[in-house]
Structures are given as structure tokens and as C-alpha cells.
Amino acid sequence: MKSRHKKLLVIVLALAGIGIAAALILNAFQSNLVFFFTPTQVDKGEAPTGRAFRIGGLVEKGSLKREADGLTSHFVVTDTAKSMNVVYKGILPDLFKEGKGVVAEGKLGSDGLFTATQVLAKHDENYMPPEAASAIEQAQKAQKTLQQ
């Protein structure tokens, strides 16, 4: 009888542990998902303000400007339909180039300026980050349907 109780206790404790772990995991998961939006979606106001998200597209040619400190850079990300201004403080990745694909993570300010905390450009000259590629694809599809 006694060992039975103990066994029950172990099972209850194990279940409680698993329950706590699951709650912890799912809670952290919910609050740390980073969603992706295209510049067109941001333009339509679909993106949240005050929560971090990712944008992707091409770095517009001729848009890269650096401030005097050499670290803060401004550039424009476009999906060929809409574009948005981005500011980033830090070293840009090796493969960051005007006219090439880019993905940036950060927050949107009320003035429409996207303050990036992280800029990703993957390590292959011809490789387009999948998010950036899909942003451009979506924008071009939308334009085609408009023309029709």
C-alpha cells in the first residue's frame, strides 16, 4: 500500500514537472515568434507596431547612406511595389549589397521608419533569402492582378 502511494507520488510529480515544462515552453514560444511581413503588407498597416518582426526584399540601388560615425546606416528595402526606410546601427553583413536581397528584424516606429536590430544577408552571392524572394514574388503577383 505504502509503496503504491509513493509510486503515485512519483507519477504525480513527473506529470507536474512535464506540465510546468510544457507551459514554460509554449509561453516562451508564443511571446517569441517573429512574424514576417513584406513592405506591401507594412504599407497596408498589417504589421504590428511595438513588436519586433521581419521584413524582406531588395536593398534599393543608391539608397545606402552612412552617418558620420560610420556605423549607422540608412537604406531602403523594396519588394518592387512598395518600399520602406530602414535604419541600422552596427556592421552590415559581408553580403549586404545594393540591389541584392536582404532580411531585417526590428521594430516599426510610428513615423514609418523601421529600426533594425539585425540584418541578415545569407552567405552565397547568388542566393536570395527565401523571405526576400517571396516578398518580391507576392508584390509582382499583386501587380499583375491589378493590371488585369
Contacts to another protein by CB under 8 A: 3, 6, 9-10, 13-14, 17-18, 21-22, 24-25, 28-29, 31-36, 54, 66, 69-71, 90-92, 94-95, 105, 122-125, 127, 130-131, 134
- Read off the C-alpha cell for 95: 553580403
Residue 13 DSSP SS3: helix
> Whose Cβ is closer to another protein: residue 36's or residue 87's?
36
Contact 56, 103 (CB under 8 A): yes
**Shortest Å distance, C-beta 111 to another protein:** 25
Find all residues with CB under 8 Å of 133, minimum gap 6, and list them. Answer: 101
Closer Cβ to another protein, 25 or 143, answer by number: 25
* CA 107 to each of CA 83, 99, 102: distance values in angstroms, whole numbers, following the listed order: 16, 23, 16
Nearer to another protein, 35 or 49 (CB): 35
CB atoms within 10 A of CB 103: 22
Q: How far is the CB of 125 from another protein (least distance, A)?
A: 5
Strand, coil or helix: 14: helix
> Which residue lies nearer to another protein by CB, 54 or 82?
54
- Closest contact distance (angstroms) between CB of 85 and another protein is 20
> What is the smallest separation between the CB atom of 95 and another protein, expressed in angstroms?
7
DSSP state of 1: -
